[in-house]
Amino acid sequence: MATLEKIRNRAGLLIIVIGVALFAFIIGDGLRSGSTLLQLSKNSALVIDGNKIDIEDYSQRLAEMQEFAEANGQKLSDEQRMELNNQLAQEYVQTIALENQTEALGIKVTPEELIALITGNGAQQSYQAQQFFASIGINAENANEVKDFLNLISDASIKAMPPAQQSSFLLRQRQWNAIVRMITNERLSTKFSALMSRSFAINKIDAQYLSGVPSRDVAVVRTMSSVLTDSTAMPTEKEIQDFYNKHPKMFEQKLPITKVNYIDVEVRPSAEDYATAREEMEQVQVRLSQSSDVAEVARNYSESFAPDFYLTEQELNEINLSPSLVEFLKSSEVGAVNTPAIENDRYSLVKLVSKKVSPEAVYARIIVLDTVNTTKADSIVAAINGGSSFADLATLYSADPQTKAQGGYLMFPDPRTGAVDSTLTEARATQMGLDTLYKVPVGKAFTMDMGGAKFILQTAQTKAPVTKYKLAYIALPITFSDATFSEKYSTINSILASGKSFEEMAKMAEEKGLDVRRNVEISSFSSTIGSIPSSREIVSWALKGEVNDVYDKIFRCGDSHLVIASVAAQQKEGTKPLEEVKEDIKDRLVVEKRGEILASNLAAKNLTSIEAYAEAMQATVDTISGVSLLARGQASPMISAHSMATPLNNVSKPFRSEYEVVVVKPLSENDKSVGMPLDAQLKQQRRALGQGLGYRAFGYLVNDLKVEDNRARFY
């Protein structure tokens, strides 16, 4: 009881203690939650309409895209990596915009519909699916092949594979998942566009115009308003402020912008470097001229080729030899070596090794033998050479359905046009290991083993003979020496080492004739700064930097650019400040005021003919046909309006149209009944509006999304 009494007596204190404890608990939990939310935000590459895109997920998707792009063995440059990064960011934004809207509208892609788009069973097969299957050697029209592939890249199938094989199939699985996302989004977009195309109506006024819009042929005199240099055309501060206030959308900035100042030195070859390059060129020229093994000479240079086959004149042009080199090969004797001039900082040497006249190309036939028919190869060859039809035997024995259906003829996409071509040049045949086609008589069949398979081939016929050329080519780029680089590096490094402010360093650089750039704008989407190649490192640093920061080291961008960079400003998204756009507004208003003053001055002359206005405006009379209230082409809305409002054969008052001052004189009017019937015009207008409305509507949805781009923290 005594204890209970004490508790009662101290109830107020106990309540306070409990209250403080509860408050501490709640606040602590809140702080932890806040910390978690903050951490989530910090770990988000993008925040799109409140949806946080985790950096790990984003990086994995980006790595997949880069892996896919580099699958052919070519490494991506920094610029190409950033292009993929931007492509992925746009994909996320567009996907969320699309999903938000289609979900609200009840639009979706069912699993059955997706399967139909992938297989082509029940719907037109997706173009993305067709392209993907073709790239990995799967016949997109063969449902069993498609099904086998999907089973092969399933989680269960990959898990059952030997560990050494799993990585390549996981890559293929990720590539396929990306294709599925594309197919799904494209289908959603198609449905959304179809819905939008039915969500408008042409009103009576529009229909009235379409029922027979009159048009006129109009004489026009125009001059740029900039011919007037009247100081009274200067806008006031209030006019600039008013324009800024009335047009906020014109100055909207969707992303944060960083402004960068930089000093750039491009290292170029010196006079000594050019002299050294010329000496090397002359030595190579002698070696090419005297050597009987040009391939051995060419192997010592990275930019060279000496193919062991002949090229037609068309193929010489296709390998991007300059016209002067092609002409040299055509006009020279065998063994000749050119004396090159410097083009794009390089010497290009070429030797005509040999030339001949032979068929431009051959038509080739093939029978692909499977393991069952391999043993019959000799008897099939004997039958063909004995007079049997190659096409009939291809139909009977070939394991390749495509060539079988074409009478055995090999078909290739033309590398220039993409059209199917059934001929093989000597160069292409040699590169494919099929040069025997040029060594056997026309019509004679022969066998060939390649890649563990056996084929029967035949040169069915040849094209007309042409001159062909065998050549050796060596390019000698003129590069700067280490001494030249050191000299330029020392120059810019001495400026950075001064430790002065950027403006002081910029003054020193300008005195030395170096390139200084100020207020160059970049954003998280920028792959380079200005025109400096491989400068993404500068962009990444500047986006995270503070105003007036100067990087404490010299950036080396690509092979030849040395850069000192400084952060000039960090500008948040939103409406640009007036000071930022003041000069642009001023220039616009000056042009408008000059136009109004010039039009007023011309009107005061009370001229009565279009020719008199042309003389006063120091211009010529032009004619525009088909001008109507539907402004298009050379006729701006103002020109269209004045042309239709001015009586025929009368001269209008001078008026301003954008950056011009114009006078018009309508010459004639066309019959309203000319043109398509109203129903046809309405159908055409509905079709045109429907095609564009879905695209524009989606553009508005994307533009209205709130996007926080944090990629600069990570890339």
pLDDT tens per residue, range 267-308: 999 999 999 999 999 999 999 999 999 999 999 999 999 999
The reported pLDDT for the residue numbered 416 is 61
- Which are the contacts of 127, defined by CB distance < 8 A and separation ≥ 6? none
> Is there a single domain that holds both residue 192 and residue 301?
no
Question: What type of residue is 81?
Answer: R
Distance CA 631, CA 641 (A): 8
> Is there a single domain that holds both residue 172 and residue 121?
yes
Question: The domain that contains 378 carries what CATH number?
Answer: 3.10.50.40
Distance CA 332, CA 377 (A): 46
589 part of a folded domain = yes
> Is there a single domain that holds both residue 441 and residue 538?
no
586 part of a folded domain = yes
The reported pLDDT for the residue numbered 163 is 87
Would the pLDDT of 660 be above 60?
yes
pLDDT band (50, 70, 90) for residue 455: very high
The reported pLDDT for the residue numbered 419 is 67
122 part of a folded domain = yes
The reported pLDDT for the residue numbered 372 is 86
Average pLDDT, the chain: 87
Using one digit for the tens of pLDDT, what is the confidence trace for 523-547?
Answer: 999 999 999 999 999 999 999 999 9
pLDDT band (50, 70, 90) for residue 21: very low
Contact 709, 90 (CB under 8 A): no
Identify which of 33, 61, 58 has the alpha carbon closest to the alpha carbon of residue 44.
Answer: 58
> Is there a single domain that holds both residue 7 and residue 152?
yes
Among 338, 358, 378, the domain boundary falls at 358
Identify which of 416, 426, 404 has the alpha carbon closest to the alpha carbon of residue 358.
Answer: 426
> Is there a single domain that holds both residue 22 and residue 125?
yes
Structure-model confidence comparison of residues 449 and 212, the more confident one: 449
The reported pLDDT for the residue numbered 680 is 74
Using one digit for the tens of pLDDT, what is the confidence trace for 391-402?
Answer: 999 999 998 888
Output the six-digit token pair for 235: 């806008």
Long-range CB pairs of 453-456, under 8 A, 24+ apart, other chains included: 453/368, 453/369, 454/369, 454/374, 454/377, 455/366, 455/367, 455/368, 455/369, 456/366, 456/367, 456/369, 456/377, 456/380, 456/381, 456/384
| DSSP tally for the chain: helices H, then strands E | 26, 23
b/e 407-438 (16+ beta carbons within 10 angstroms → b):
ebbbeeeeeeeeeebebbbbbbbbeeebbebb
Using one digit for the tens of pLDDT, what is the confidence trace for 319-377?
Answer: 888 999 999 999 999 999 999 989 989 999 999 999 999 999 999 999 999 888 999 99
Among 520, 540, 572, the domain boundary falls at 572
- Which are the contacts of 498, defined by CB distance < 8 A and separation ≥ 6? 504, 505, 508
Output the six-digit token pair for 321: 């030899």
Angle at 182 between CA 176 and CA 183, to 5 degrees: 90
The reported pLDDT for the residue numbered 232 is 73
Domain with 301 in it = 271-358
690 part of a folded domain = no
> Is there a single domain that holds both residue 15 and residue 80?
yes
The reported pLDDT for the residue numbered 417 is 62
Mean pLDDT for 91-102 is 90
Distance CA 135, CA 258 (A): 41
676 part of a folded domain = no
CA 142 to chain centre: 33
Residue with tokens 């984003």: 58
Cα distances (Å, whole numbers) of residue 578 to 145, 248, 581:
63, 10, 5
> Is there a single domain that holds both residue 12 and residue 136?
yes
697 part of a folded domain = no
Question: The domain that contains 505 carries what CATH number?
Answer: 3.10.50
> Is there a single domain that holds both residue 187 and residue 40?
yes
Looking at residue 75, the DSSP 8-state letter turns out to be: P
If DSSP codes are grouped into helix, strand and coil, which group holds residue 258? Answer: strand
405 part of a folded domain = yes
Look at 207-221, 453-467, 488-502 and tell me which has the smallest mean pLDDT: 207-221
Structure-model confidence comparison of residues 696 and 279, the more confident one: 279
If DSSP codes are grouped into helix, strand and coil, which group holds residue 538? Answer: helix
> Is there a single domain that holds both residue 42 and residue 150?
yes
b/e 511-522 (16+ beta carbons within 10 angstroms → b):
eeebebbeebeb
Angle at 647 between CA 645 and CA 651, to 5 degrees: 95
b/e 210-249 (16+ beta carbons within 10 angstroms → b):
bebbebbebbbbbbebeebeeeebebeeeebeebbeeeee
> Is there a single domain that holds both residue 278 and residue 354?
yes
175 part of a folded domain = yes
Neighbour tally for 49: CB within 10 Å: 13
pLDDT above 90 covers a percentage of the chain that reads 58
DSSP code string of 180-240: HHHHHHHHHHHHHHHHHTTS----HHHHHHHT----EEEEEEEEEGGG---GGGPPPHHHH
> Is there a single domain that holds both residue 278 and residue 223?
no
> Is there a single domain that holds both residue 77 and residue 124?
yes
Output the six-digit token pair for 477: 């780029």
Angle at 255 between CA 251 and CA 257, to 5 degrees: 85
Residue 268: Cβ-neighbour burial (10 angstroms; 0-12, 13-18, 19+)? middle
Distance CA 313, CA 253 (A): 53
Look at 6-15, 230-239, 245-254, 580-589 and tell me which has the smallest mean pLDDT: 6-15
> Which range, 92-101, 164-173, 278-287, 635-644, is most confident?
278-287
pLDDT above 70 covers a percentage of the chain that reads 90
Counted domains in the chain: 5
